[in-house]
Amino acid sequence: MTPLVGPRRPDVLPGFVAQDLALQSGDVATLVRHDTPHPGAVLWLHGYNDYVFQGWLGPALDAAGWTFCGLDQRRCGRSIRPLQVPARLWDLAEVYEEIDLAIATLKQDHERVVLLGHSTGGLVATCWADDRQRIGPLPIDGLVLNSPFFDFRLPRLLRWLVKTAVPLVARRRPGFVVQPAGDDRYARSLLKKLGSNGEWNYNTDWKFVGGVPVEAGWCAAVRRGHRRVKAGMDLRLPIFTLHSDAQSEGPFGQEWFASDTVLGPAKMAHYTPGLGPDARAVAIPKAMHDVFLSRPAARQRALDELVAFLGRLP
C-alpha cells in the first residue's frame, strides 16, 4: 500500500525539502518546506498556472520565527504527471484533500499553521475554510490572502458570458477551451530570462510563459466560489488580505511592475470584511499581482505586514 506521505527529499529550491502526498484519485500533491524548525508554519497555496517557487520567503520567515511551506496542488508544478492536463480544476473542493493532508502533516512538527492563498489559491483557501468550519473546528490559526481571486476582471460583455453562458457550456463540456494560452505579458514582468526586467527564475515547464488554456469547467468552478464570497461568510479566525493599491492592463510597460495586471484590487478590499468578524485588507503601494514577487520596496512592505499579522495571532 502506498503511504499517504512520502519521505522528505531535497527540493529544487535551495534549503527546502519536498514530500509527495498520495491522493485517493491516484494523483499526487507535493508539500515543500523550508528546512528550519519553528513552532509555526505558513502554508502557501499557489494560484492558477503556478507552483511554489517564492523561495526567498524561506529565510525571510525563518528570521521572523516561522517556517515557510508550500503545496503544489495535483496537476501543478512538482505534482504534474505524464498525460495530465496541467492546472486542470473543475471543482474547487477537489483541492481540499491535499490541503487537509498537508496541514495534518505539518501539525506533526508545528504547533500552529497559517494558510496563505494566492489568487485562485486564495479563493480555494477561503471556500475550504468555510466548508471545514461547517463540520468542526478549523485546523488553522489564521488565513492570509495574497491578491485573492474574488471576481473576474473583464469587460462587461465578457463578464456576462463568463457568469451566464460559460457555466452552461461547462455542464456538458467542462474541457471546452474558452480562452487559449499565449499571453506572455505577466511572465515578462516576472521571469528574468525573458529579458524584460523581470527579477525571478522559475521552471517554465511548471509555470507556463503563455499561461494554460482556460477551460469552461474552471470558469464555472471559480464562478461558484465567487458567489459564496459575495454572499458573505462567518469565518471565526483572523483573516488578512494583501493586495496592490492599483490595477492596470494593456500593452506591456512599466506599469506591469507597479500594479496588479491580473485582477482588481478594489474587489479584494470590498469583499474581505464580509469573510468574518476579524478580517481586514491592506493595500501595498506599487505591488504586483503576487505581492511577494513585487519590486523590492513593495515586497518588503508586504513581508513586514505579514510578519506583523503573524505576531498578532493569539
Give pLDDT tens digits for 228-258. Answer: 999 999 999 999 999 999 999 889 999 999 9
Residue with cell 496542488: 73
pTM over 0.95: yes
**CATH assignment at residue 91:** 3.40.50.1820
Is pLDDT above 80 for 177? yes
Is pLDDT above 60 for 1? no
- Contact (Cβ atoms closer than 8 angstroms) between residue 100 and residue 5: no
- Over residues 11-33, the pLDDT tens digits come to 999 999 999 999 999 999 999 99
Residue with cell 521572523: 64
Q: Answer yes or no: is 216 within a domain.
A: no
Q: Answer yes or no: is 206 within a domain.
A: no
User: How far is the C-alpha of 69 from the C-alpha of 72, rounded, in Å?
Assistant: 10
User: How far is the C-alpha of 247 from the C-alpha of 266, rounded, in Å?
Assistant: 9
Residue 185 three-state SS = helix
Beta bridge partners of residue 66, listed in sequence order: 40
Q: Answer yes or no: is 30 within a domain.
A: yes
- Over residues 25-63, the pLDDT tens digits come to 999 999 999 999 999 999 999 999 999 999 999 999 999
Please state, as a whole number, how many other Cβ atoms lie within 10 Å of the Cβ of residue 106.
Answer: 23
- Contact (Cβ atoms closer than 8 angstroms) between residue 309 and residue 238: yes
Q: Answer yes or no: is 104 within a domain.
A: yes
Q: Answer yes or no: is 40 within a domain.
A: yes
One-character DSSP codes across 207-233? S-TT--PEEHHHHHHHHHHHHHHHH--
Provide the number of structural domains found in the chain.
Answer: 1
List the domain range (segments joined by +) for residue 283.
Answer: 9-150+233-312
Q: Answer yes or no: is 169 within a domain.
A: no
Q: Answer yes or no: is 180 within a domain.
A: no
- In this predicted structure, what is the pLDDT of residue 273? 98
Q: Answer yes or no: is 109 within a domain.
A: yes
